[in-house]
Structure 1
Amino acid sequence: MPLLSGGAPKERADATRNRLKVLAAAEQLFDARGVATVSMDDVAAAAGVGKGTLYRRFGDKSGLAAALLDERESQLQAAMLTGPPPLGPGAPAGERLTAFVGAYLAFVDAHLDVVAMSQTASSGARLRTGSHRLWRQHIAILLAEAGTPDPDVRAGALLAALTAEQVRHWRHDEDRSLADLTEALVRMARAATGPP
């Protein structure tokens, strides 16, 4: 599977600078105040760019949240596709699956507000992203390699358990530790590679 970030046209130097300023400002504001309380106007002011530039580049706050996730997602993609085992190639499918579930859960937990914003921007938003398609395809391939029936359905079910909304509920409403939650979801991933 190729990385999703390859092949993009070269960006102008000033556009790159503006994009990096906007992303840095958004990240700082989101971390300090939470995604819900930060407006696009706040981000434009903090980045020192015009509102038109911000809206043309990112569309809305969910587009900005998605752009913030791109770099982190590409790091996880690279580890999954070319990194060392067990997350990367070279380990048995079941070990790779459990490594991915742990890594993806840690990613969602670390960036919960921004992931939630990108997943809930509109009905079914999380299902339309390229990264979701990559995660689902990766899980389905690993399940198929393990001889698991219905790998596509099981891949979707595993990802549904890892949505930001579900992780937030477990972590904040039920006060589960990340370690305990990781252990439970890794057990679920192991069970998913077994017979029906």
Structure 2
Amino acid sequence: MERRERADAARNRQAILRAAEELLRRHPPEQVSVERVAAAAGVGKGTVFHRFRSRTGLMLELMSERARDFEQAFTEGPPPLGPGAEPAVRLVAFFASVAELAARNGNLLSAIEHAMVTRKSHGEQPREANPVYLAWHRHVSGLIAEERPDVDAEQIAHMLLGTLHMEPIATQLRAGEHERLAAAFADLVDGLLRGGGG
């Protein structure tokens, strides 16, 4: 009985995530409500809230799913994104990949931002406490510190990652202009890691 309940819960989770993904593909983020996701997944609204706590939680979990493969690539995959290349090269590859990931998931990122702005619960974690953000920040700050131990790597990593949420940058990403952003990040990394500390 317990095994069947676990299997049902796993199926419901996947159905909810896939329904949210499909709705985001076809509708503006502000139109993708918990009610619409529940209806599309064939579950009750309470099931969505029980599993994900809120619309924000649902969107963050969907983004987390997409980010897991990316995290494996930059921690265990081949260079230049993965281990084996020098820090500056890996950092450029990381931000190029982040920009592409964000451009491919523009509606999802917009939905997360919209959910955070309009959420009713104040007990949820801030963006910087999200496991995906923490993993990205740890990676970026580690690469910076490896090459430039003389700078505040943690703070610079927050600054670099924070630009992804600036409206002009988010607008570019939604328009698919990730290559321009990747080139700008490459210039920043080059100036930071290769232009100083010598």
Question: Does the 8 Å CA contact 1:22/1:44 hold for their aligned counterparts?
Answer: yes
> Is residue 35 of structure 1 aligned with residue 24 of structure 2?
no
Match of 2:178 in 1: 178
TM-score normalised by structure 1 residue count: 0.85
**Alignment partners' CA distance in 2, 1:176 and 1:33:** 17
Structure 1: segments with no counterpart, 5+ residues: 1-10
**Alignment partners' CA distance in 1, 2:66 and 2:192:** 27
After superposition, give the CA deviation of every residue in 1:71-115 in whole Å (9 maximum; x if it has no partner): 111011000100000100011011110000101111112112322
After superposition, give the CA deviation of every residue in 1:32-84 in whole Å (9 maximum; x if it has no partner): 00221111111111100111111111122111101111211101100010000
Greater helix content: 2
**Alignment partners' CA distance in 1, 2:7 and 2:166:** 34
> Is residue 99 of structure 1 aligned with residue 93 of structure 2?
yes
Task: Specify which of 110, 121, 128 is matched with residue 104 of structure 2.
Answer: 110
Q: Secondary structure at the match of 2:60?
A: helix
Q: Secondary structure at the match of 1:162?
A: helix
Q: Secondary structure at the match of 1:81?
A: helix
> Is residue 157 of structure 1 aligned with residue 159 of structure 2?
yes
Match of 1:140 in 2: 141
> Is residue 46 of structure 1 aligned with residue 40 of structure 2?
yes
**Alignment partners' CA distance in 2, 1:71 and 1:140:** 23
Question: What is the aligned-residue RMSD (CA, Å)?
Answer: 2.2
User: What one-letter code is carried by the residue in structure 2 that aligns with 1:90?
Assistant: G
**Percentage of matched positions with identical amino acids:** 34
Match of 2:169 in 1: 167
TM-score normalised by structure 2 residue count: 0.84
Structure 2: segments with no counterpart, 5+ residues: none
After superposition, give the CA deviation of every residue in 1:124-180 in whole Å (9 maximum; x if it has no partner): 8321211111111111110111125111121111111122634223346xx783222
**Alignment partners' CA distance in 1, 2:192 and 2:9:** 45
Do the aligned partners of residues 164 and 48 (structure 1) sit closer, same or farther apart at CA in structure 2, a change above 3 Å counting?
farther
Q: Secondary structure at the match of 1:88?
A: coil
**Alignment partners' CA distance in 2, 1:65 and 1:156:** 22
Match of 2:131 in 1: 130
**Alignment partners' CA distance in 2, 1:118 and 1:125:** 12
> Is residue 73 of structure 1 aligned with residue 67 of structure 2?
yes
